[in-house]
Structure 1
Amino acid sequence: MRQGRRGRNATADRALDILLMFDDDRLVLSAADVAIRLGVARSTAYRYLQSLTGNGFLEEQDGSGFRLGPRVVDLARLARKGVGLSDLARPIMRKLVQHTGMPALLTRRTGGTVVCLEREDAGTSLRLSYERGEVLAINAGASALALLAWAPAAELDELLAGPLPRYTEATLADPAALRAHLAEIREQGYAVGRGEVDPDVLGIAAPVRGENGGVVGALSVAAFSHRVPEREVPRHIEAVCQAAEALSGQVARMGIG
């Protein structure tokens, strides 16, 4: 994904790289950690950290390092709000979970990436790469492809111009093959993915349309492939498409998109 970016600003890149270092196992960063990861002097790393702290993206923690600050929390809240999309989607997602017995996801495209806005679980042990707030590539998984399939032609050309990441052997990273698959998705009105992001996971997604008919998000379900007999897939496809249509109607009435 990073190799595909063009015209990047070095200072902004460093700031983003630092923020992306945080994860569940690394909640606090030191200047030494950042210096090693970025390959810069410790004084340079500290300068970047101080700049992020000054803007509220980080805050110092008792001299032990830096943790995510209030500005990040605020941005996360705004991202999840998704211009009202999340609030409208939650009740529909809960019904979809009850109907299918699968976790339901609400995703949205942001440039060349996909952001998971909401997730409703079904009480299963299924672990997915898609968690609330996760950012993933645009070319892998039913949710991503349901968003990419209806991207404007000029944007699609740009998105497919750079290297595409491959998560598993099932991930489509060849632009020509991906374009052909996207044409099929547009024709049938939904996307089905099998093991493209997480091995042995079946995903079914349908686009959510806004007031002007454009795609503003995607609604999907996911389950272990071996737990969903092929004969039941059409029933789940119908449920996802109906839920996406219901959400699209509400989104249009609210004047979103």
Structure 2
Amino acid sequence: MRANRGWWDRNADEYQVEHGTFLGDDRFVWGPEGLDEVEAELLGPAEDLKGKDVLEIGAGAAQCSRWLAGQGARPVALDLSHRQLQHALRIDGGRVPLVEADAGALPFADGSFDLACSAYGALPFVADPVRVLREVRRVLRPGGRFVFSVTHPIRWAFPDEPGPEGLSVAASYFDRTPYVEQDDSGRAVYVEHHRTVGDRVRDVVAGGLRLVDLVEPEWPAWNTQEWGGWSPLRGGLIPGTAIFVCERD
């Protein structure tokens, strides 16, 4: 947790400069493919969001929360990174409530929210995703929905390159060794954890949630942008994002 908090605090400015235009100030984009909640309706029809209490986990600059507020929902944007939340303040002046906290220890009472969401937030970066999922279940009301997107697990078998060199399998899909970046002293400064599709499904169940759908967005023809290892070339052949739609019974 400490490594990733520091990484996002150091890199939030660059991230928002590089990806802010694509993400928009008040769009709800699920991943590099550009799948928009306006069309996906994974949280439910937009007209049904009015008056709903929604928690966004790993909110970054809270773009998704601002879109939710625009639909009449009552969002709360939570992130581990102080600098990312400063960008949220820069964009909207604090109109959306912001909370700096660990997703594995949510500072909310039981049953506080109707919905929860996370677009590439928190779950790829935690060693114990079940802890996060149990916390989400705790703060959801009965019947509440949690939708989260992560890097598609198959991506871990391929080099993180957008061109042809990224199309050949280079590692075992079944190797769960985390990806770790270190500084000159050998201290971890960025950590990302690999889970297979089966691992993710079992995590959802162990977290006390029910898996309703698993969405693998296809790369649309309009999206010509490269984002790290994602590109139109790779996106037309292998999935880059997995979206898990879960509910609390």
* TM-score normalised according to structure 1 size: 0.30
Bigger helix fraction:
1
